[in-house]
């Protein structure tokens, strides 16, 4: 039984995000947005938008990493149940 939110599937592999993922996105967004150097460059709203995009890109890279594990496992005939993104990164559920 998977916990978290199902957000779709990639290559027929279900993708879930844990509630802790939202905390990390908010934390990165806040830390980047409150940085005075960024606020000076792009304005206060732009700094928070940049922080949000940074968080999304971080998790996109984690997702790409886990997807790599999953696709290699599939190519070797191993069943892949799902990919889950959470507080500490991601995990591919492979049998």
Looking at 32, 66, 83, 84, which residue is catalytic? 66
**Phi and psi for 14 in degrees, rounded to 5?**
-60, 140
Is 66 an active-site residue? Answer: yes
State how far the alpha carbon of 38 is from the alpha carbons of 2, 50, 70, 76, 88, in Å: 38, 8, 37, 46, 26
> What are the catalytic residues?
66
């Amino acid at each position: 039984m998977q916990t978290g939110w199902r957000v779709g599937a990639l290559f027929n592999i279900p993708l879930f995000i844990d509630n802790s993922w939202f905390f990390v996105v908010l934390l990165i967004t806040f830390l980047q947005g409150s940085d005075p150097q960024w606020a000076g460059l792009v304005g206060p709203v732009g700094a928070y938008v940049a922080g949000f995009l940074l968080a999304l890109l971080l998790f996109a890279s984690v997702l790409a990493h886990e997807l790599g594990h999953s696709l290699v496992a599939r190519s070797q005939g191993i069943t892949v149940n799902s990919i889950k993104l959470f507080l500490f990164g991601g995990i591919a559920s492979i049998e």
